[in-house]
Amino acid sequence: MTNDKTMEFMQIAMKYLPEAKVELEKSGVDLSMEMIQPFMTMFTQVMNEAYELGKADAQKENE
């Protein structure tokens, strides 16, 4: 996975972070940047795996 894709995934995560923060605060969870870091890492791993799965599917369709 390239750093460019990782940056794109992080931009997507940051786009939805305010909405996630509101929902977590409604549930009584205060969200700080220190707390979010492990989840951002996990999100990036999930997005990388989803990207590779989609890439493999596209390659199969083109065979």
Taking only the tens place, the pLDDT of each residue in 5-59 is: 888 988 998 999 899 889 999 999 988 888 888 988 898 899 999 999 999 999 9
Q: Is 45 left (phi over 0), alpha (psi -120 to 50) or beta?
A: alpha
**Which pTM was predicted?**
0.69
Q: What angle do CA 23, 24, 26 make, to 5 degrees?
A: 65
